[in-house]
Amino acid sequence: MKQPNRLLRGILSLCCPATRLDDVQGDFEELFMERTGEKGRIKANFYFLMDAFSLIPLKLSKRSNTMGSLFRSYFKLAIRHSWKNKWSMLINVVGLSCAIGVCVFAYTFQAFNIEFDSFYPNTEKIYRIHAMTIENNRERRNELSPLAMDDKLRYEISGISKVSSYNDRTMTIKSGSDYFQEGVAVVSNDFFKMFDIPLWYGSLQDLGKRPMVYLTKTAAKKYFGNQMALGEELTIYLNNNQKLEVIVGGVFEDPPLNTSFYFDVVISKGDYFTTLGIDPNDWGNRTYVSHYLEINHEQIDAVTDIINTYIKQQNEGHEEFKMDRFELVPFRSSLVSEDELWRAYANDRLPISATMIISVLALLIFFVACFNLANTSMALIAKRLKEIGIRKTLGSRGKQIFIQFLFEIGLISAISFVFGMMMSNAISDGFMSLFGGESFLLQDVNLLGISIFTASFLVFTTLIAGLLPALYAWKFQPVAILRKSVKLKGVSILNKTLTVAQYSISITILVTAISFALNTDFLDRLELGYQNEGIIHLPLSDTTHYLTMRQGIEQLPGVSSASTRNHLANYGLFSDKIMLEMDTSMHEVRYYSVGSGYLDFMNVTITSGRGFISDSESDRQKSILVNQEFARQYFNGEDPINEVVKIGGTSKTIVGVTADIIDNVFKSSELRPVIFSLDEQEELPHLVVKTTHGDLQEINEQLRSMWSEEIDEPYPGQFQKDVSIGNGASQSDSIYKVFLAMAILGGLLSIIGIFSLAKLNIARRTKEVSIRKVLGASVKELIMTVNHSFTIVLLVAFVFGCGLGYFIADFVLGMIYYYRIEVSILTSIGSGIFVMLVSLLIITGAVLIPAKSNPVVGLRVE
């Protein structure tokens, strides 16, 4: 009864270090018996527990010292092993760093959308007005609403606590003698009360009270250098005829790229519309803005119903742009994306297709690098069998061996992650520049998000790359190793599986890259229905510039003609709607107002009827030309010559049919009906220069020089090829470069990996090669024998890679483009053969040296 019970003894064993338990337990029991006699059993139990608990720090300290020693041992062994195999480690670090850099860039690409508009605080009650339209039997979402609705929202609808509006325009700004094209935000005076964008310096108090302009920090430095911009004068050209003299009222901190409101310059809505002479309360004008409302959630339905009562006023007299209804959408809604919005002034999220492609590519390259690291690590285990056996014999547990190998992979991953993070911004610059966009860098991403991503991805990388080698080392039994009954010859089944996987991925990416290259060439040769080469456009802010420029331009060598015309393709076109006389529904068409003779100038083919007659007043007022797609859709393919249609309520007669005009090649822009009308102006504000020979770039530079001498405005010249088909060819070329870069990186990683395996394989089979050579085997036979397993692996990867490449390339092209090539199976097979041949040459080079060496040296190898 004087001994501590089993529970107390168990608690003591838990609290006391195992090495001290025997000594401590006897002392504790003696104290317990003394205390039982002096103070009673209950108090003895209490003191026994207190003494046991006091030993916990000692146990933790012992455990900490043991774990610290253990991890120091892990670290030393990892460093020694890495240094011993420094070339393999260097290859793996470089490859994994590149892959991680691409993955970090892909994360920033995704973070652009995930963190979109997180810059603005307290937006839970802010809603966007979206106008829904029905165009060609398809519902479209537009983030805009009539300017005339502004006062209605502010003063006539209860439940709305705040209202602001935003409009975006590209305008010419004159600072001193320099001209700049900038994105100008036209905002209501209370815009910055709803959206808090911090000022670097200055004040917003005078916004709207007098002509004032606000710049971003980047724009201020561009205009005035390090000089303070406050109070400086600028001239803003609002359109061809009106300009606004302003002074700088303040400078904003640069807003993040991933926000709805990304601008260089800000002016007041009142200054803008007053200068242009636009009545903000006139429902008859065609001026639209984006409206943002602060509303309590319970008021949403009621406010939406009242806003929709203004649909009738908006649609009266607006046949070209009728709205079906208005919707209120939360400010941070996922509907604010390029895939959802048809028209918008505010910035939107990146296309889902682009983020998906970049993310999938990054993961594929990452897996190739991880497979390469795992493959090399498992191959190197053959050199460490005795180390594993001796460590297990001396008492190391399988868990410790597992942690050791995982720790070594983790060290490589950590080093690679440091370099990968450093590379990510350079990769972002390179990728984004291909698409002509501004870089969204690592420092632009939320710190907490990137920290969580970094920690998680580091662990993920270590597990993906290190789990198989660690498990592979863990499984060996010490007795089998020391008896030499474990023999690792050739390449293991795991090595083969990983090699097949990484080569399949590399071939897939290469096939996709080549398919995009072929698609770029296809788009370059695509018949667009008009001349696409040798044309330079000069938009004119004043038609008098035409007289100033034309005579000099026609004297330039290589210029065949110059004329003022509107022009075709994506740049400069606008959509209108028509009402057919036999049909009361509205239809969206491409509508071009062109000058006399312009269609001949651009080599547009007339398939039936006639073109416009120069200087014909009748053609200006009553005639139009349509394309073949128009005839197919609205006249069942029959000849529509002399048929009458209504445009904006005016009857027009079809006098000719042209070949189809292709102005966009992307998936969202199928072939559309087109109408040409003869513009009533004698001279349209657009100069088109047509060349016959010579360097187009050189002619453009001569035009730039002539422009700067004659006209005090920035040179606006653009090549027709750069503004055609929605930049489809150039974007296809950019995507091709992305895939090609990934294919080269993946291919190099795969080839380096298989070269390392071949070297390790031949090192393990040195004695076998020497014996075969002594027995009379030729160099050719030795190469075939050693490479037999690799050849099978490459053949399997060839089959998988070619098949995946064919289907993935066809899927990706189909997801992006409406006009595209059909991916050929020959492209897949050719790419696979190329990768196989290069790999076999690399492997043969690794085998050739020992195959030609003296067999005596190989026979002496242990």
Which residues are CB-contacts of 394 (< 8 A; sequence separation ≥ 6)?
none
Would you state the pLDDT for residue 540?
Answer: 67
Residue with tokens 């083919």: 605
- The residue type at 458: L
Tens of pLDDT, residues 316-342: 867 667 888 999 999 988 888 766 778
- Residue 617 tokens, joined: 């007043």
From the list 432, 458, 703, 687, the residue with the least C-alpha distance to 558 is 703
Helix, strand, coil % in the chain, rounded to nearest 5: 55, 20, 30
Least confident of 373-387, 524-538, 622-636: 373-387
Mean of pLDDT values over 53-73: 61
Q: How confident is the model at residue 18 (pLDDT cuts 50, 70, 90)?
A: confident
DSSP classification of residue 381: G
- Residue 88 tokens, joined: 């393999």
Tens of pLDDT, residues 557-580: 777 665 555 555 544 344 555 666
pTM of this prediction exceeds 0.85? no
Secondary structure (H, E, C), 571-633: CCCEEEEEEECCCCCCEEEEEEEECCCHHHHCCCCEEEECCCCCCCHHHHHHEEEEEHHHHHH
Q: How confident is the model at residue 130 (pLDDT cuts 50, 70, 90)?
A: very high
Instruction: Give the separation between CA 761 and CA 382, rounded to whole angstroms.
Output: 10
Which residues are CB-contacts of 287 (< 8 A; sequence separation ≥ 6)?
146, 147, 273, 278, 280
State the chain's mean pLDDT as an integer: 77
Tens of pLDDT, residues 237-248: 887 667 888 999
pLDDT at 471 over 60: yes
Which residues are CB-contacts of 526 (< 8 A; sequence separation ≥ 6)?
662, 665, 725, 819
From the list 270, 263, 245, the residue with the least C-alpha distance to 189 is 270
> H or E element: which one contains 388?
helix 385-393
Tens of pLDDT, residues 88-107: 777 778 878 887 888 888 88
User: Contact at 8 Å (CB) between 343 and 144?
Assistant: yes
Q: How confident is the model at residue 129 (pLDDT cuts 50, 70, 90)?
A: very high
